[in-house]
């Protein structure tokens, strides 16, 4: 029996109706998808999931946070990957902020004139963004391009810079640097939002009274800290107790012995929960002490706090560390035409130390420049947890003071086997309940009456608190040009024009001592960089090319053959009817 041609019309109408319904459903789904943002994180390291501390920060925003990202334009693949990660991160943050976070991507080079572009670049630099230069090869030769991988976070009347790209210390290859930057992305953005939205500014006091570094020598780190903290100078030798509104003491390179009264005040400050950043020299050594014969004697530095730190869990040794991985200094090596000839030589007393541990304070940092640094031993102290933040390289050694520091060492060829004391501790974090240094110590009646009148009663154990001990006071010192009093940025090497990670390290250390640990711990997030095996790529290249080309064609042939057989059976059964 042959069907009437009219019977095909209802079938065609039904097909059109089904198609219209399907298209309508797809349109509705797409419209809803524009308002509802969600995703499922199936990665092993949960790279697309925000930490609880970040979620809490975003859910408690009281007003709109506006983020202007300057990572827009035509980038190489690595920066495109970073840009995509920033967009994903901000989209997830916006979803969790409940309407209190907005962001925009801007191309800073897209300005009406070159003058306007330069003015914007200068403004971004003053706000704290760090540019990076790219060299692109074109038909006209090498072309320089400036990229600003960062953002400015705006909240009410505050502006906070957030730099995405980590420096050379983050990894060896460009892809490793990009990967390390992605790992730190959540902390970088969340930390900037926290600083922009925080109403209370913790108070930091740089101590005076024992020959500490003055305000000029610490002016660069003070300028960076003043944006987020309230700073002051405080003379520890005064009679009264350390004020209760001080949250952190920075004891930066004292050159004179601390008095017993100063030690008692600091110990009392720690007992009630105060934080301390110790920057102490185990040995008195400075390049200014170099004689005309190009040497000087470095002697042990008696600051009177060795017994105090021993009680807290560390000991700074009276030695100097030499490290093959060191910064360079200019040395006159000869004369030419009556003029001295200078050349840069590695100076083993100035080690460059990288944060090779996974602690969030030092993870992915640039090398940190030290000068005449000593080793630190860890001592058993009940209730105190110790974490080594920084240590010397595998090619290092230590010399016990007194040490004859001879400039000739820089020009001599040294043997690696001489550097046989690797991985010496130079920065240690202490956390927990510290035993009082004055526990079970007798105080005379006059001292006891003075302490009672000032409300500084003795305690045997502190409340939970933390401190960081660094065995080099110069790590916080910025250089100052003698003639013009020009202040160089902290960590800037005047001889090589290289910027080291001193400022970021100290900012991270102070943030950790004063900030919420839940947010700081975001920095320990790791994203595995899964690189292709170059050897396997070469060996298996043709196999995978053939598979990629042949498999789709084979699947199409199988599908076409199967569908053809299905249609034959279907219409054969209909004809039989």
188 lies in the same domain as 219 = no
Q: How confident is the model at residue 363 (pLDDT cuts 50, 70, 90)?
A: confident
| Residues near 440 by beta carbon (within 8 Å), at least 6 away in sequence | none
Domain span including residue 61: 52-196
pLDDT attached to residue 13? 76
Contact 519, 191 (CB under 8 A): yes
pLDDT attached to residue 139? 58
312 lies in the same domain as 188 = no
Q: Is residue 276 part of a domain?
A: yes
Q: What is the rounded average pLDDT for all residues in the chain? A: 85
How many domains are contained in the chain? Answer: 2
Lowest mean pLDDT among 104-113, 161-170, 313-322, 359-368: 161-170
* Short-list 468, 455, 454, 447, CA closest to 260: 447
pLDDT attached to residue 167? 61
Measured between alpha carbons, how far is 353 from 340 in angstroms, rounded to an integer?
Answer: 32
474 lies in the same domain as 373 = yes
Q: Point out which residues pair with 234 in neighbouring strands.
A: 207
Where is pLDDT greater, at 68 or 126?
68
Q: What is the pLDDT of residues 299-357, one digit of tens each?
A: 999 999 999 999 999 999 999 999 999 999 988 776 666 677 788 899 999 999 987 77
274 lies in the same domain as 174 = no
Q: Is residue 484 part of a domain?
A: yes
pLDDT attached to residue 523? 60
205 lies in the same domain as 270 = yes
Q: How confident is the model at residue 249 (pLDDT cuts 50, 70, 90)?
A: very high
Q: What is the pLDDT of residues 546-571, one digit of tens each?
A: 888 888 888 888 888 888 888 777 77
305 lies in the same domain as 292 = yes
241 lies in the same domain as 330 = yes
292 lies in the same domain as 155 = no
Q: How confident is the model at residue 1 (pLDDT cuts 50, 70, 90)?
A: very low
Lowest mean pLDDT among 72-86, 184-198, 515-529: 515-529
Q: Is residue 307 part of a domain?
A: yes
Measured between alpha carbons, how far is 519 from 55 in angstroms, rounded to an integer?
Answer: 10
The average pLDDT across 75-93 equals 87
Measured between alpha carbons, how far is 520 from 513 in angstroms, rounded to an integer?
Answer: 10
Measured between alpha carbons, how far is 467 from 430 in angstroms, rounded to an integer?
Answer: 5
Question: Where a domain ends, among 460, 480, 499?
Answer: 499
- Consecutive H or E run containing 339: strand 339-353
111 lies in the same domain as 187 = yes
Q: Is residue 333 part of a domain?
A: yes
Question: Where a domain ends, among 196, 216, 246?
Answer: 196
158 lies in the same domain as 192 = yes
266 lies in the same domain as 186 = no
Q: Identify the three-state secondary structure at position 539.
A: helix
| Sign of the torsion formed by the C-alpha atoms of 502, 505, 511 and 512 | negative
Question: Where a domain ends, among 154, 170, 196?
Answer: 196
Contact 176, 160 (CB under 8 A): no
Where is pLDDT greater, at 575 or 349?
349
Q: Is residue 576 part of a domain?
A: no
Q: Is residue 553 part of a domain?
A: no
pLDDT attached to residue 170? 47
Q: Is residue 341 part of a domain?
A: yes
Measured between alpha carbons, how far is 319 from 491 in angstroms, rounded to an integer?
Answer: 23
pLDDT for residue 3 is more than 60: no
311 lies in the same domain as 413 = yes
Q: Is residue 281 part of a domain?
A: yes
Angstrom distances, CA of residue 155 to CA of 67, 100, 401: 9, 10, 52
**Strand 141-147 to 376-378 pairing:** unpaired
pLDDT for residue 127 is more than 60: yes
Residue 93: CATH number of its domain:
3.40.30.10
Q: What is the pLDDT of residues 138-196, one digit of tens each?
A: 556 666 778 888 999 999 888 989 888 876 444 456 777 777 788 788 888 988 998 88
Q: What DSSP string runs through 27-75?
A: HHHHHHHHH--------TT-TTS--HHHHHHHHT--S-EEEEE---SS-
| Sign of the torsion formed by the C-alpha atoms of 486, 490, 496 and 499 | negative
Lowest mean pLDDT among 4-8, 172-176, 212-216, 357-361: 4-8
pTM for this one? 0.75
């Amino acid at each position: 029996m042959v069907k009437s041609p009219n019977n095909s019309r209802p079938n065609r109408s039904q097909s059109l109706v089904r198609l219209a319904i399907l298209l309508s459903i797809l349109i509705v789904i797409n419209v809803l998808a524009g308002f509802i943002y969600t995703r499922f994180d199936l990665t092993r390291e949960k790279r697309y999931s925000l930490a609880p501390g970040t979620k809490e920060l975003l859910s408690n925003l009281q007003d709109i946070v506006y983020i202007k990202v300057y990572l827009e334009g035509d980038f190489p693949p690595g920066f495109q990957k970073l840009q995509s990660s920033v967009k994903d991160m901000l989209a997830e943050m916006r979803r969790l902020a409940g309407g209190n976070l907005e962001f925009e991507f801007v191309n800073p080079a897209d300005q009406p004139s070159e003058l306007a572009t330069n003015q914007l670049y200068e403004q971004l630099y003053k706000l704290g963004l760090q540019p990076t230069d790219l060299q692109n090869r074109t038909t006209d030769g090498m072309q320089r391009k400036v990229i600003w991988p960062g953002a400015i976070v705006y909240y009410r009347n505050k502006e906070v810079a957030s730099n995405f790209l980590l420096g050379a210390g983050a990894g060896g290859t460009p892809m490793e640097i990009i990967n390390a930057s992605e790992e730190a992305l959540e902390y970088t953005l969340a930390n900037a939002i926290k600083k922009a939205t925080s109403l209370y500014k913790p108070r930091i006091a740089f101590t005076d009274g024992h020959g500490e570094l003055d305000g000029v020598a610490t002016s660069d780190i003070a300028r960076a800290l003043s944006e987020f903290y309230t700073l002051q100078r405080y003379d520890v030798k005064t009679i009264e107790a350390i004020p209760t509104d001080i949250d952190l003491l920075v004891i930066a390179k004292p050159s004179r012995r601390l008095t017993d009264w100063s030690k008692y005040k600091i110990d009392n400050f720690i007992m009630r929960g105060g934080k301390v950043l110790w920057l102490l020299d185990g040995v008195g050594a400075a390049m200014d002490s170099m004689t005309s014969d190009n040497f000087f004697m470095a002697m042990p530095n008696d600051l009177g706090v060795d017994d105090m730190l021993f009680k807290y869990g560390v000991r700074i040794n009276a030695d100097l560390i030499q490290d093959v991985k060191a910064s360079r200094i200019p040395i006159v090596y000869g004369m030419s035409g009556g003029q001295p000839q200078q050349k840069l030589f590695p100076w083993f007393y100035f080690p460059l130390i990288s944060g090779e541990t996974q602690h969030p304070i030092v993870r992915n940092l640039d090398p940190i420049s030290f000068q005449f640094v000593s080793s630190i031993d860890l001592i058993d102290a009940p209730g105190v947890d110790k974490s080594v933040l920084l240590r010397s390289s595998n090619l290092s050694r230590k010399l016990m003071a007194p040490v004859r520091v001879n400039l000739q060492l820089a020009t001599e060829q040294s043997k690696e086997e001489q550097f046989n004391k690797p991985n010496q501790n130079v920065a240690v974090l202490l956390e927990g309940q510290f035993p009082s240094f004055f526990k079970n110590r007798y105080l005379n009646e006059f001292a006891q009456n003075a302490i009672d009148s000032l409300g500084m009663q003795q305690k045997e154990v502190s409340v939970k608190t933390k401190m960081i001990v660094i065995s080099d006071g110069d790590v916080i010192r910025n250089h100052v040009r003698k003639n013009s009093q020009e202040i160089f940025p902290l960590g800037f090497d005047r001889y090589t024009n290289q910027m080291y990670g001193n400022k970021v390290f100290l900012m991270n250390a102070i943030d950790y001592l004063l900030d919420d640990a839940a947010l700081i711990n975001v920095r320990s997030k790791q994203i595995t960089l899964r690189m292709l095996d170059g050897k396997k790529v070469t060996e298996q290249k043709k196999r995978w090319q053939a598979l990629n080309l042949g498999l789709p064609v084979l699947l199409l042939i199988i599908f076409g053959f199967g569908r053809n057989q299905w249609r034959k059976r279907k219409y054969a059964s209909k004809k039989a009817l």
